[in-house]
Structure 1
């Protein structure tokens, strides 16, 4: 696979006519509006490299693709067993912080997702053509804590200084043809899809592990068949936490929106923070992309254009509650459909907020009823996460199936085979039997492997065994994941913060998370009642005090469900602690803790910790604070037993 616009040995590059090199670059460049600006940059780069690479032996690439980031590296130069990743700032007389972070991010992306670069010596090299050369520490550079910074006549010296001591040589052919397996964040997914990238360009698609393509293709076939035969259909996609359900849903909605505008496909989510973050990310990215094209687009304009792609499910519901009309949308994707409200919750909401008495439909039933207004065809796609209901009144999958059982038997139901094989989704055997007899079971509708924690696909299983108190199995799994996906334990929040900062490179995002019910963490300076702005926390840069990087604001399960960051510190609260080999479930009211007795509420609380423990992509640290001898709301036994259990599982302690 050719990922570069131009590639050659350094020897042949030096011999080749500059105009021919420029011609090849221009031929591969697709954005015509940028052509003059880009050509000038290439002309200067070719001129500089023709001088600076004299006497060096190796390979050279121009515009090497980094699909996950939707960008291209200016140059990659391979000399001996070093891979130099170059970012040019032509005409600049200083080295900008953003440029440093960008070139480090390129190296991290290659290291994490490009198989040929997993163990390569990747050197971030920033060239500001009119700046002064800077000294560097090679160990820090190779650990991606520092960037080699030089001007246009310092490139050869830097490469020689670093590569001269090595006698090993990279197999260039093997390196450039090795597999690239990106696992983008959901924010990166939304941005890339909206720009027109296909899901296979931006996600892992090695057939042995991930069946995202199969899932998307299956759904597309169902939609086409429904369209051709005037049928109404629903598809239930399941998956382990982080398996790419939201990625699949965004891909389906985006593909249909682009290829079949009359279908008005839309991605709907009841997860307010997720919708806010994705919409804000799309709008910010749209402004930047438009500026690069020479267009002027305001933030408000960008929001108007991008907001139709992703919508809040409650706004959709309220629109069709107000008007009893046939919806414009033919294809709707409901994210986290298991979180739709039960009849009791909807009835209470309608009475309190809308002044509607005796509303007798659950949210799933009402949403199906809205789509059922179509006279010909429509397709609903439901994304279902097992064991992730965290809110009072969330109905789970049972309410969806119940609606079809009672009122919509003419619909065609396609469902993941996991739904009838696991009590995680439907607890009643009777309902599973009905579904088996009245629907179509399909293995391609289950996403079985987590791609969030790309360093280890067993993290979600480890978390499950940990929460189920299966100590022996959890210990085995921890021993398997601890190297690729480090998990540490501490009793000191400052130790945890230091670890997050030390481990994270470039723009890798880190932050504090905690259960919304862990109210007494306030005593150690962690206030879960302090509401955050999710877009600021997830998207703003490290110098912004509102961002996750500042480690001041904490995200709860409601803020972070459906989203992810590179590294987290979970601060464990007293609302969920271990005693006599069993979990104790508590709720803080007034000035004291009260036991939670309802099984459904216990399940919500356990699931909130399941969510918090599966939000990291590269590693996490769990902080279980010390108790207090003087504060009756924080006795030591609320913390010590939990800490001891985590240590017994094998989690290494940092002090």
Structure 2
């Protein structure tokens, strides 16, 4: 586990201690080669804080306080009365740059959201630029959750900044010991989780746990147990892990892969996904992070990362080139329900890859590749409910069918929820499951959304909305309304302003829509224009291509498996509420056409399920007004959908003036 702080002490004892005593303890806990720049920074911080806190009331101070979700440490946290002061220093700086203000704000928000002892605390983030000119006493802007906007301070006025804040607050004093040991239960984004796991952090450091949630650790422990049993008994094993959207399936898969890579190098475990944007974003994020930490060229870091996270199609192509058993013994397939069926895989391989004799589904081929091993191997399939969104995605039926027909010598372990309607949505899949002898295991199901840390009932609410259960949706909405805001608007600029106003620190926001939302074009939304996923998800506010600019809009294919803090969901007439139910359309040429095929209807419904479950903290839904002068988007196409969403309990935002 990460040590919570390098140094902690009562304020009185800290102020009386010598600089060398404090510095010695910080150095002893550092566990890395100590550079002169870091030693100098600590010396400056100690000197400034001793001078600024000597006249302050009793409290406690923490140097290098761990923020596990972010994989970082706040310079200093000080507890005085009922206020948590998060202090970040820019030693030698004469300016207060925006990136540093965002960083200290992020630390404060992270404590508020994920550190149990800070849930009800008042938190003030402070940025100290040690060479800045003296600042006048700042104004304090406290949000509803009592986390203030960051304030700027200098060594000369830090004491005044702290005492003025204390004078403004009237909270109960915090018990320092209880606060320190209250526990940190972060809910990382999948990018943050991948970075932390790749740095060899334990999953318990970056993911929350508790009696109110299905335990992610239980699932990963069970899979590790199955792997060890396979090795000992020389068996081939496949297991199917299910989970609601955002429940941590991908996190579980990454945890398995990193655990086996770091602790069992001979297994050559790999994380595979057919989700191109997810693979691209994870690879880019891991490469950037490693390059920054290890001070190596990004291309070198990217080369190493590419062996750990792979596109499933590249794995397939290599297996076609080399008929031997692959080096990998443990393979994690993310979003396995999206693997191609026989028709799609055969068509692609024959037409695009020139393999005229290829004639099998993707699951049949992939299991066949692993079956080349003479001894043991393990396949972990991560299955999302209601996640099939594209033609040719075979769903669970393809996997079950191939295991029942061709690979009966394999041991099959399945989630005890595998026969739920979210996973078994047709008679074909149901029949395939009955033909497979499988061990059912409750530990292979992740039942609670972790993405929406404010609203574990979000997936339930979204399910009711898209299944035309408005009464149930209203009941589910009442469970989340105080923690997870959802708003409706007919004005896109209002949606943009709401997103910008809600996000704090570096919280990420962006616009999403279904890939078939072609008649949002009059609103300036061009769904035929492809985003660059790593840039959209990872670059900062200065990049016009990033999600922050609210110009480029991501589709369900871009965002599946990924997430943002806040989303603007743009709703077109492809999934249209009319005549008391949902109707499915696709825009062809110059008009809408009904989609009557059950498969296409399912894909469209799931597309909206995906875009409605991408936000961790809240969302605004934009439904255009349409125009009766345009036969492709008359008002009636949109009004009925808007009215239905209102009936689900979602309130309407007041319209802002144009930007």
Structure 2 length-normalised TM:
0.96
Shift of 1:290: 1.4
Structure 1 CA distance for aligned equivalents of residues 215 and 35 of structure 2: 38
Alignment CA distance shift 1:635-1:471 (3 Å): same
Structure 1 CA distance for aligned equivalents of residues 289 and 71 of structure 2: 11
Structure 2 CA distance for aligned equivalents of residues 143 and 82 of structure 1: 10
Equivalent residue of 1:569, what SS?
A: strand
Shift of 1:119: 2.1
The answer to whether the aligner puts 1:130 opposite 2:131 as a matched pair is yes
RMSD across aligned positions (CA): 1.4
Contact 2:595–2:601 (CA<8 Å) still a contact in 1?
A: yes
Unaligned runs of 5+ in 1: 292-296
Counting only pairs closer than 5 Å after superposition, residues 544-555 of structure 1 correspond to structure 2 as 544-555=543-554
Equivalent residue of 1:233, what SS?
A: strand
Deviates more, 1:348-357 or 1:58-67: 348-357
| Residue of structure 1 equivalent to 2:48 | 48
Deviates more, 1:318-327 or 1:394-403: 318-327
Structure 2 CA distance for aligned equivalents of residues 424 and 484 of structure 1: 29
The answer to whether the aligner puts 1:230 opposite 2:230 as a matched pair is no
Deviations 1:551-586 (A, max 9, x none): 000000000000000000000011110111111111
Shift of 1:423: 5.6
| Residue of structure 2 equivalent to 1:199 | 203
The answer to whether the aligner puts 1:457 opposite 2:447 as a matched pair is no
Contact 1:82–1:163 (CA<8 Å) still a contact in 2?
A: yes
Equivalent residue of 1:634, what SS?
A: coil
Counting only pairs closer than 5 Å after superposition, residues 514-529 of structure 1 correspond to structure 2 as 514-529=513-528
Equivalent residue of 1:95, what SS?
A: coil
Equivalent residue of 2:260, what SS?
A: helix
Structure 2 CA distance for aligned equivalents of residues 3 and 38 of structure 1: 19
Structure 1 CA distance for aligned equivalents of residues 168 and 359 of structure 2: 76
Contact 1:182–1:203 (CA<8 Å) still a contact in 2?
A: yes
| Residue of structure 1 equivalent to 2:152 | 149
Shift of 1:425: 3.1
Deviations 1:173-206 (A, max 9, x none): 2222212110000000111111111111100122
Contact 1:487–1:622 (CA<8 Å) still a contact in 2?
A: yes
Contact 2:124–2:148 (CA<8 Å) still a contact in 1?
A: no
| Residue of structure 1 equivalent to 2:162 | 159
Structure 2 CA distance for aligned equivalents of residues 208 and 639 of structure 1: 39
Structure 2 CA distance for aligned equivalents of residues 170 and 126 of structure 1: 23
Contact 2:125–2:148 (CA<8 Å) still a contact in 1?
A: no
The answer to whether the aligner puts 1:558 opposite 2:557 as a matched pair is yes
Counting only pairs closer than 5 Å after superposition, residues 172-187 of structure 1 correspond to structure 2 as 172-187=176-191
Shift of 1:136: 2.5
Shift of 1:210: 3.2
Shift of 1:145: 6.7
Contact 2:140–2:148 (CA<8 Å) still a contact in 1?
A: no
Structure 2 CA distance for aligned equivalents of residues 555 and 370 of structure 1: 34
Structure 2 CA distance for aligned equivalents of residues 418 and 243 of structure 1: 14
| Residue of structure 1 equivalent to 2:318 | 319
The answer to whether the aligner puts 1:252 opposite 2:256 as a matched pair is yes
Deviations 1:130-156 (A, max 9, x none): 102254221258865732111112111
Equivalent residue of 1:242, what SS?
A: coil
Deviates more, 1:231-240 or 1:210-219: 210-219
Structure 2 CA distance for aligned equivalents of residues 640 and 349 of structure 1: 41
Unaligned runs of 5+ in 2: none
Aligned residues: 647
Counting only pairs closer than 5 Å after superposition, residues 101-112 of structure 1 correspond to structure 2 as 101-112=102-113
The answer to whether the aligner puts 1:287 opposite 2:291 as a matched pair is yes
Deviations 1:292-337 (A, max 9, x none): xxxxx11211111211110000000111112211111100000000
